[in-house]
Chains A and B, each alone.
Chain A
């Protein structure tokens, strides 16, 4: 199932840099032997128009007026309680976190379990750049150019066993490296889950980067989940374990406040959070609020996953 119905409509072709140009700049940078950090530094120094010209990836489900949220906001306004509970803490507290070497365990109801080094793990799929909408449960939103592979490819390589119905994800637990875990604000390690059909959906990404660069630590380096039709907290960060199960996994926020955070976490403007309305959202960088879209604008692609379900109960 390929879903790219919005590609041409979303981004005027004048905005897309020819791939040859884009690649030549990237090749020039790597040919110069620059490290990832230096590339990041160079990118920050480029004048804004030049950066806007970069091809950031294939747009998925973008609305005509959706523009990528600036790198500065994507990498400084983060919810990542493992590195502090305020929005600006993760960028500061995660500064010295080392996301490599990194091992990801794939286990549970699969025919081919395994422990993978990150590079081997990523060989399961093709690394792609995709621009997605991102809606936080706190009623703010962004548009983010992710880089990553489809989770479906990882699961296919592991070969789910017949009884597998859910996928459970687990974040690294290491209070020495993740100081926020010394405070019991949530049940550590953070866990999240998807139904197997959600996990196999072609929109579901395991992201390794944003804006064509490796994920900054505060964004969940080196590997995080991205499900653009769900609230952002579904996007578990710094994943070390992917386990297939026959039972619905317990998830960190659902454990913490079950009346406020369910298992599905689908973006839904008609189902309020108990403490605030979800009908509108504030796009970071914009003054006026926007209406929130059903499934965050991905209804055409994902609504069928939930046909017949009461989304008021399964929030």
Chain B
């Protein structure tokens, strides 16, 4: 492939030995820090999570969910543009991590934020749009997490591909949930909306190009998944 030599170097980058470890650290460290911060703040009177650790931890877990959704959606473009096909197997890991943080975020809300107040939970799930949207996002993620095994892929075949297109809905719901929950500081929700718009827009554009009669790239098989 023609191009500057540094670009070839980047494209030739192979999965390093430490990559798997790095992914595990990236997955586990942030959540561990949030949990340890909560315990430390209440038991040892520290301020790792600031003055309102329950609220701050809840927010951090929500943001981690969004970040791992970005990572999940970024895998295919990275394969496409950088030629790093070896990141493909991390996509499921990132997706499951996003689900794990979303579930923890929800449990944190129920157990620590509203502290098992059944009436408030019921109100939230029926009257408060941002909670409803967030909960739907979690519901949509659940079957995707449950069918993420190789066995499910083999068993569901085409249905699996269709089902897992729901992954494109989750970040949209996630960002709407975040946007609706803030008072006036919409800077970060805007930033992530733009990111998701780019990642989803690229897929849409790519899928259309492949379906057009002028499509020529044989590598189209790998794209837009």
Binding site for B on A (CB under 8 A): 72-73, 76-77, 81, 85-88, 138, 140, 183, 185-186, 256-257, 272, 274-277, 279-280, 282, 284-285, 287-289
Contact = CB atoms under 8 A, between A and B. Distances in A.
Given A279-B120, A280-B117, A287-B42, A87 B185 contact: no
A289 B52 contact: no
Contacts of B51: 72-73, 76-77, 87, 284-285
Contacts of A85: 183-185, 187
Q: Is the interface of B mostly helix, strand, loop or mixed?
A: loop
Contacts of B115: 288-289
B50 interface: yes
Contacts of B128: 274-276
B123 A277 contact: yes
A73 B56 CA distance: 14
A256 B52 CA distance: 25
Interface residues of B, number: 21
B55 interface: yes
Q: Is the interface of A mostly helix, strand, loop or mixed?
A: loop
Contacts of B123: 272, 277
Interface in B108-123: 114-115, 117, 120, 123
A282 B53 CA distance: 11
Contact of B52 (A77, A257, A272): A77
A277 B184 CA distance: 19
The 10 closest A-B pairs by CB, nearest first: A85-B185, A77-B51, A73-B51, A185-B184, A284-B51, A277-B120, A287-B42, A275-B128, A140-B52, A289-B115
B134 to A, nearest CB: 12
B50 A76 contact: yes
B47 interface: yes
The listed residue with most B CB atoms (<10 A of its CB), out of A185, A275, A282, A285, is A275
A76 B162 CA distance: 49
B196 interface: no
